[in-house]
Amino acid sequence: MKRNILAASILAAMSTSVMAAPAAPSIDMYGSNNLQFSKIELAMETTSGYNSMVKYNEEAQIAIKFNQWSGTPGDTYKVYFDGVEVASGPITGSQTTATFGYAKGGVYDVVIEACDATGCTKGAAAKLTVADTDGSHLAPLTMNVDPNNKSYNTDKNTVVGTYFVEWGIYDRNYTVDNIPADNLTHILYGFIPICGPNESLKSVGGNSFNALKTACSGVPDYEVVIHDPWAAYQKSFKQAGHDFNTPIKGNFAMMMALKQRNPDLKILPSIGGWTLSDPFFYFTDKSKRDTFVASTKKFLQTWKFFDGVDIDWEFPGGGGENPNLGDPVNDGPAYIALMQELRAMLDELEAETGRKYELTSAINVGWDKLQDVDYGEAIQYMDYIFSMNYDFFGGWNNVPGHQAGLYCGSFMAPGQCDGTGINPDTGKAYGGPAYTVEHGITALLAQGVPANKLVVGTAMYGRGWDGVMPSSLTNPNDPMTGTGNGKLTGTKAQGVWEAGVIDYKGIKQYMLGANETGINGFEYGYDEQAQAAYVWNRSNGKLITFDDQRSTKAKGAYVRDLGLAGLFSWEIDADNGDILNAMHEGLNGYVVPTPTPTAEPT
């Protein structure tokens, strides 16, 4: 019996050694097998046509190499993401590569299990990334916001928006993590271009026109592309943890991570703009609109962090950068048709994804621009109109005035405010009421645009002139009654990135001062009739008109009084927090002070 028991024990031991479970697989982490995969394939080290640089796949192609250098490899493997089996296949020896497609972005604990008839053995877990353009693979963005931005509890149904520009990451050094997103409902990403005729872009100078030609190489006219792939998805931002192997980088990856931090934030690609609007003027042809709408749908399917589309056609009927473009008769109907067709496309996307997509448009509200489009007809397809209530006056001529005035300025000549008088500079009738916030909004309401779809614009920058000397003034107390001698000049350090335009934070630091009374020879002035601010240096004639905290609060109160949708601004990199703070304070019950009576002349 003892001998039989011993023999059985030896046989069992031999059987156990022969029938041992497979060796634990170890994931090979060397070489290119870095466990980072992506549903979008992006060319990272070249610049060429958009379609050859960007390819979106419904599934990421996963390839995981694992080793079993000792012991029994086993017959089959299973792959687990966060404990859920996602793939299986045959083991091919001491080294096997598991390949399969996977559709859902995220960061997973991946485990490989080797199996045979005796059982299964799991290896150690590792982190695996499946990148998708909704940002589901990203941690919430770590912010670096100017501490001057305060916190507010503004009604979430109130629009508080701003533009973020693609090129702001360069000389301005303003990146997505600098955006005070907690105080925003909407970010408009400027700008997405349309391939086709773009002669206006040549006015920018530099490489902008050639860059767009490259992006549009191999792309049909009237499709959308990305103007600057380096800024959009190639540049590594160390503050966001980007490295060489990061599948998606640049502004877009930062925006995706921002959405993880602020999931209710709406980010819209703004298509067009002042120098990129030329292709819109060919949209009287439905076939060109169809190409554009289909391309826009594909763009939103590719870049899923966007929440709709914003159209910046400057301007239907004409009056934009290119004086040769504009059809006052047919552009308006084409604009309305475009909105209808975009809305239908977005409805299709909503049915496919279960998400809500917004359709908005930034428009000029001068009387001559509004007469070319029936916005009351177009608005039924739209969520909001962003009323560009700025650039009313500027250095394109030598006639000073408030560039963002809520009402008519006290400097205006008789008949200028209501448009019934004669322009002394041209000798011709004004043609229509002066450019003001009130006149533009009143006209849109009269067209039938609902108040709760109108968003009023604020300026985070100033426009100005050189050479407005005291000797040119007809009213010695009001520099707006003087004459300029060319566009404002200055340095980039002061925030003058182009002649005639200066960042608000530059005005605050170099001209307005902490007490907001004026420094460095500048005097602060406020037109209580217009609710508009300015600074003026009578010694050198530099005059700048801008929105300050007071005028911005007045706009917010105006929005509340009329039941409008909210406020937006151009552009966030020019603010130090003052203007965005004032937007909230104006929307939260600010009462405009009673104007100080004008003193009797002596």
485 by DSSP, 3-state: which? coil
Buried b vs exposed e over 230-239: b needs ≥16 C-beta within 10 Å? bbbbbbebee
Q: How far apart are CA 320 and CA 71, in angstroms?
A: 74
Q: CA-based angle 409:410:415, to the nearest 5?
A: 80
* Alpha-carbon dihedral sign for residues 461, 467, 472, 475: positive
Separation in Å, CA 343 to CA 311, 428, 458, 510:
12, 42, 27, 46
User: How many Cβ atoms from other residues are within 10 Å of residue 599's Cβ?
Assistant: 7
What is the pairing mode between strands 384-387 and 159-165?
unpaired
Both tokens of 357, joined, read 């997509």
DSSP string, 541-590: TEEEEE--HHHHHHHHHHHHHHT--EEEEE-GGG--SHHHHHHHHHHTT-
Whether 314 sits among the annotated catalytic residues: the reply is: yes
Beta strands in 232-307 (DSSP E): 266-272
If you count them, how many residues does the chain have? 602
CB 345 within 8 A of CB 371: no
113, 166, 314, 571: the catalytic one is 314
Q: Which of 371, 364, 366 is nearest to 386 (CA)?
A: 364
Catalytic sites, residue numbers: 314
